Chains A and B, each alone.
Chain A
Amino acid sequence: MVNSPLFKLDHLTICQQGTDQKPIIDDVSFSLAQGQRLGLIGRSGCGKSVTSHAIMDILRPPLVRKQGEAILQGQDLFTLSPVEKHRIRGRGIFCIFQSPGSALHPALTVRQQMSEISTVIDLDQAATSDVIEYAFDRMQLPIRCLEQYPHHLSGGMKQRVLMAMALLLKPKFLIADEPTTGLDVLTEQDVLTAMDVMLEETQSSCLFISHDIRIVKRVCSDLLVMQDGKIVDRCTRDELTYRERAETTREIIDAMKVA
């Protein structure tokens, strides 16, 4: 990497407050170049999602950050004031969560949840409305979905609504936390295609979290492998198959071969 990275996580350590147990996230560091798609892979419960929550600074108590820096374009996200934090969220850094079923507000229509983004991207209502329709078109979502409530939409559609939000926000750094978990294979393809379209357009750098190496290989150029809160392996997509890998990585690859 020649130029300085867009995002850099340094020595992130997360503990459970009030206990002396070993850290949930143990000294995790990585960096992301402009436009890079980095995969974070590991078994369920190894700390992938906690890492993403920590970067967004929305850890659920009793989890607390013991140390670490998250530098986005020279700014440490962890030391920002609350006002600066909410300013950098959305356009600077955005996160598509696992479980789209609960990610959208059940009592607000899709349009309400899309158009409130206008307050973040400084567009008036009319312009926002146009952008929303454009984004829905790109995500191959029918316009009528806008007037519906989230429970009307299928899992894949909800996930694509989240992608459409990313299209509006054009975040510099996007975290996608298991966006295809719980979807059938065909829907998964739709969502991944939509994500390609979205990333192509937003030019966001992406941290893609998954437990599924098949998908990570499709989306990402580089990989991190996590186990028990530690990064145990780093490699590029092409190195995966033939280089001598860490045990966890091999286990994950083997698991995929069996499946």
Chain B
Amino acid sequence: MQTFILKRIATAIPTLLGMSMLGFFMVALTPGDPVEMELRRLGVIFTPDQVTALRQEYGLDQPIFKRYLDWLIRLLHLDMGHSIASGRSVLEEFKTHLPLTLILASLSLSLSILLSSLFGITAALTRSQILGSFVQFFSIFLVSIPSFWLALLLLFIFALSLEWISLLGSGAWYDLVLPVLTLSLGSAATMGRLIRDRILAAMSEDYIRLAITKGLSPALILRRHILKSILPPLVTNWAVTFGALLGGSVIVENIFNLPGLGQMALQAVFERDFSILQAYLLFMGLIFFVSNFIADLLNYWLTPHFREQNSSQGATE
């Protein structure tokens, strides 16, 4: 176990370094000067000298590689610079905006898992053609519609037609209902199909057939044998989905006007707020990395047969 974790962390270092470079250079090399944007936003008439002075202050006059290294070193001290727009530190901005997005993504993931398990298991176990095609139709439908369109559709139904929810939001918990639905329906559909297909595939495995032959109750076979064999790919899928949900929050938060990380990021794009953007990109990469890492750990624990093959331990006989 320890060697597995150490190995994973060792291989993570180049990955993380690569992600930090990508995040930094992508933002730094895009056209548009943050200083000019800033001055223009303030509405001041500026002289070239002032621009140069400000650029110096932000360190933008340095060669780009030196800026990257400085940024990296400061990053290790959790200092990601300041937001040009608000003047607050990037860390503080994250502290303000992150919780809402985390809640949104976690709720959406939970709802996706719940809905997909329900549909996937029912569709697989009943083997009902009607339910199967229903799930298939819905999953294709939900996968192929973009989330902004689904968001608008939900707003149209629940806020405009039924008037159950205020279009502007009221600051209460139920503001999250539609965003969570928007985020989870699409992923629930994909996951539901995955669960259905995996269960059906597992049912023809010899060891599940042995469990059936033994006379075990269907509930026990599902809970123990089938679940244990389909869980690893699901865990990986959930990890990837969680990252995607955090990323997907950019669209949803902006449509539903939720002050989360996604809204912060989009605003930063408009304002060329490069320190926020660089930190955001790095953070998204980090989330994907961490959730995959957790998924790998869980799978390591769930699959004893692969675990020991990897640690080159021979069979006892």
Instruction: Please give the residue numbers on chain A whose beta carbons come within 8 Å of chain B beta carbons, in ascending order.
Output: 56, 58, 60, 82, 86-92, 94-95, 97, 99, 102-108, 116-117, 119-120, 148-154, 157, 162, 165, 169
Contact = CB atoms under 8 A, between A and B. Distances in A.
B49 interface: no
B217 to A, nearest CB: 6
Contacts of A60: 204
B224 A97 contact: no
Interface of B: 204-218, 220, 224-225, 228-229, 302-305, 308-309, 315-317
Among B204, B214, B216, B220, chain A packs the most CB atoms within 10 A around the CB of: B214
A154 B315 contact: yes
Interface-central residue, B213, B216, B218, B229, by most chain A CB under 10 Å: B213
12 contacts: A56-B209, A56-B212, A90-B214, A97-B206, A97-B210, A104-B210, A107-B303, A116-B216, A116-B224, A120-B214, A153-B316, A165-B214
Nearest to A171: B215
Contacts of B208: 105
B209 A58 contact: yes
A105 B211 contact: yes
B210 A120 contact: no
Contacts of A151: 304-305, 308-309, 315
Contact of B207 (A90, A105, A119, A120): A105
A141 to B, nearest CB: 11
B213 A108 contact: no
A86 B215 contact: yes
A21 to B, nearest CB: 21
A217 B226 CA distance: 38
Contacts of A165: 214
A18 to B, nearest CB: 14
The 7 closest A-B pairs by CB, nearest first: A90-B215, A89-B215, A102-B206, A106-B305, A105-B207, A120-B215, A154-B317
A156 to B, nearest CB: 9
